[in-house]
Amino acid sequence: MTGSRRPLNRGVVELSLRRAGTRTVVRDAYFRTPLQIMRPYYLDDSGTAYIYLLSPGGGVVGGDRYSITVTLETGARACMTTASATKIYASPDTMAHQRFDIVLQAGAAFEYLPEQIIPFARSAFRQDMTVRLGSGAVAVLMEIVAPGRLARGEAFAYRDYSSGLSVADARGRVLLRERTRLQPRHWDAGNGLGLLEGFNYLGTLYVLSESYGAPGELADDLHGLVANRQRCVGGATALEWGGVAVRLLAEDHATVSRALHAVWDRVRQCLLGYPAVRWRK
């Protein structure tokens, strides 16, 4: 019944961080439920602020609108993850929308490594992410898209999944525009050449940096990490202006998660000078 529908959510996070001595600390923070952020953890000696993005509401419903803005001042370093998988609930009529804006000043480094996105049957979700890269800044962005709730027989039963990325330099010059859109009703997920080709999970990791001197060498290195792994296929491509894109198709979540963690570890050591950490057991 119309009167029993849950109110639509308008979640907001606005977060800015700065360098204070050897650590990155929060300068300003604002959030509006159902989005929340926790105070930073410090898990290594790099001074990186490790931050959890929370959504206590349990999931995203069609019509919900989430807006997340993260700004890192000069030399700041932060790494953000979600506390759990993002569940996209069924919505036959409307689409949920999340906007994520990242502004990195000179020499800043931001890593966004969320848990998997699980689109339920009849769900629809759109994400638009923008990145502004200051001189010498680095952004590492990861995404894992599940096929749905496999235990309930809901593989590829969602309506629409759309994820877009736009990257610009400090002067506003566009470096990259990309969008992935999955509409299973229009293709055979099990056999569609050029789509998922019989695999269940799609994993993506972008390394965004103008300052890295040899993106082709890094891409070759990362390609070697993913090309010969069991239970998945994937590769890495150097972007014309200096970034690297890595994309994987995997049979299960554990496989794609391990592969992308290995990529993240190599990227960190090459670009930032320290290894990846394990946030969870």
Q: Does the residue 99 lie in any domain? A: yes
Distance CA 82, CA 35 (A): 11
pLDDT of residue 196: 81
pLDDT of residue 1: 36
Q: Over its length of 281 residues, how does the chain's per-residue pLDDT go in tens digits?
A: 344 566 788 999 999 999 999 999 999 999 999 999 999 999 999 999 999 999 887 789 999 999 999 999 999 999 999 999 999 999 888 999 999 999 999 999 999 999 999 999 999 999 999 999 999 999 999 999 999 999 898 999 999 999 999 999 999 999 999 999 999 988 765 555 457 888 999 999 999 997 666 678 999 999 999 988 999 999 999 998 889 999 999 999 999 999 999 999 999 999 999 999 987 64
pLDDT of residue 3: 45
Distance of CA 245 to CAs 22, 140, 242, 248, Å?
A: 30, 10, 10, 10
Q: Does the residue 146 lie in any domain? A: yes
Phi and psi at residue 111, to the nearest 5°: -125, 130
Report residue 57 as tokens: 């509401």
Domain ranges, residue 21: 9-198
Alpha helices, DSSP H, located in the chain: 215-226, 253-267
pLDDT of residue 270: 92
pLDDT of residue 57: 76
pLDDT of residue 2: 44
Q: How many domains are contained in the chain?
A: 1
Q: Does the residue 232 lie in any domain? A: no
**pTM, 2 dp:** 0.93
Distance CA 173, CA 242 (A): 14
pLDDT of residue 158: 95
Q: Does the residue 207 lie in any domain? A: no
